[in-house]
Amino acid sequence: MTIPADIDTPEVLVDIDILGRNITRMAQAVRAKGLALRPHAKTHKIPEIAERQLAAGAVGLSVATVGEAEVFAASGVQDLFIAYPLWVSPHKAERLRQLTARAKISVGVDSAAGASALGAGLGNAAGEVSVLVEIDSGHHRSGVQPEAAAAVAQAASRAGLKVAGAFTFPGHSYAPGMPAEAAAQEQNALKQAAEALGAAGFEAAVRSGGSTPTALLAEGPVATEVRPGVYVFGDAQQLELGRCALEDIALTVAATVVSRHTSVPGTPARFILDAGSKILGSDRPAWASGLGRLMDHPGARITALSEHHATVEWHDGGPPPPIGARLRVIPNHVCLAINLVDDVAVVSQGKLVDRWAVAARGKNK
């Protein structure tokens, strides 16, 4: 795809045709496994994309914050899971109470203290909110050990909350060779948590997991739903993990070559793009081969980022692009890149067809 002539750089581009294919493919694959799809909207933060996910069969959305939930509820989404162990301040509690009038709301908890505070903060609205107990399936971030899920559920029940089940995030799947192992650990943890909850008298009807690397490795009847997010766009991390191909990349950043270095003998040619960390983000896992990649030049790598400069090493053979050339960059971590812009340019077949506001950008509370 060529960059539309009416696009200035740097600019985030979303290819609506590839986006649609990605949404349809995941929805069909998850449905074929007998699972529910609850995509994580923190990746895109865009109501127009959420609308397409729901139309393709998603049962609702996952979000990370109350602020994101407010944005998507205002756009008409009826079922929202805040997949985070909230500590509810009086201000958050009031916002949650207001949300329950607009949508079905579920919230994550991973401690008895958090569950008690949530119930107390919601007061007579506590019965309108379901909770899922977060369990640790190997990522070792938030979440209790699976066998401890019942104690958290009991605290939630005493606080007047409805216990719907358990959830986990296998974030350790974001490493080479790890998706299959992480998926197996995820399933085992959900099974243990469901057994612990069942022994304590809770049904655990919802058993939720699934990052983008593991979503298609999940299996029923242990899991009931998955919550992938990055699949809608793809990014350089997913490319290097083998979880998507270049033709699946729906989001790129249009950038212009603004400077070329004189090559040092024995080193690759280098040039500078006008897309730095303020539009690409600066995430780089230890295993990543660079800070971003070029869509049409797979051998090139971004080796350094400052706020408005991307240094590219050229490994594609032949002369590097001239000053003024326009290239498409694949960010390493698309969730960060999308949160750095107010809107995105929607393109199809090399033409600008729309602009979408990143409506949930910066909604961190």
In the chain, % of residues over pLDDT 90: 82
Task: Enumerate the H helices of the chain as residue ranges.
Answer: 16-32, 47-55, 66-74, 90-99, 112-122, 149-158, 179-199, 236-241, 277-280, 334-338
Task: Tell me the pLDDT tens digit for each residue of 121-157.
Answer: 999 999 999 999 999 987 888 999 999 999 999 999 9
Cα→Cα distances 166→14, 133, 146, 329, Å: 34, 5, 9, 38
Q: What span, in angstroms and rounded, lies between the C-alpha atoms of 137 and 71?
A: 30
Mean pLDDT of the chain: 94
Q: What is the 3-state secondary structure (H, E, C) of 261-288?
A: CCCCCCCCEEEEECCCHHHHCCCCCCCC
In the chain, % of residues over pLDDT 70: 99
pLDDT of residue 175: 75
The pTM of the whole model exceeds 0.85: yes
> Does the structural domain 237-357 have CATH classification 3.30.450.20?
no
Instruction: Parse the chain into domains and list their residue ranges.
Output: 33-230, 237-357
Contacts of 308 (CB under 8 A, 6+ apart): 274, 276, 278
Residue 302 has pLDDT above 90, yes or no: yes
pLDDT of residue 296: 94
pLDDT of residue 115: 98
Q: What span, in angstroms and rounded, lies between the C-alpha atoms of 188 and 147?
A: 11
pLDDT of residue 279: 98
Residue 306 has pLDDT above 90, yes or no: yes
pLDDT of residue 183: 83
Q: What span, in angstroms and rounded, lies between the C-alpha atoms of 240 and 300?
A: 14
Residue 80 has pLDDT above 80, yes or no: yes
Residue 254 has pLDDT above 90, yes or no: yes
Task: Tell me the pLDDT tens digit for each residue of 53-63.
Answer: 999 999 999 99
pLDDT of residue 88: 96
Where residue 227 falls among pLDDT bands split at 50, 70, 90?
Answer: very high
Where residue 170 falls among pLDDT bands split at 50, 70, 90?
Answer: confident
pLDDT of residue 139: 85
Residues 329, 331, 335, CA angle at the centre, nearest 5°? 145
pLDDT of residue 210: 80
> Does the structural domain 33-230 have CATH classification 3.20.20.10?
yes
Residue 181 has pLDDT above 90, yes or no: no
Residue 316's SS3 state is coil
Contacts of 317 (CB under 8 A, 6+ apart): 299
Q: What span, in angstroms and rounded, lies between the C-alpha atoms of 58 and 61?
A: 7
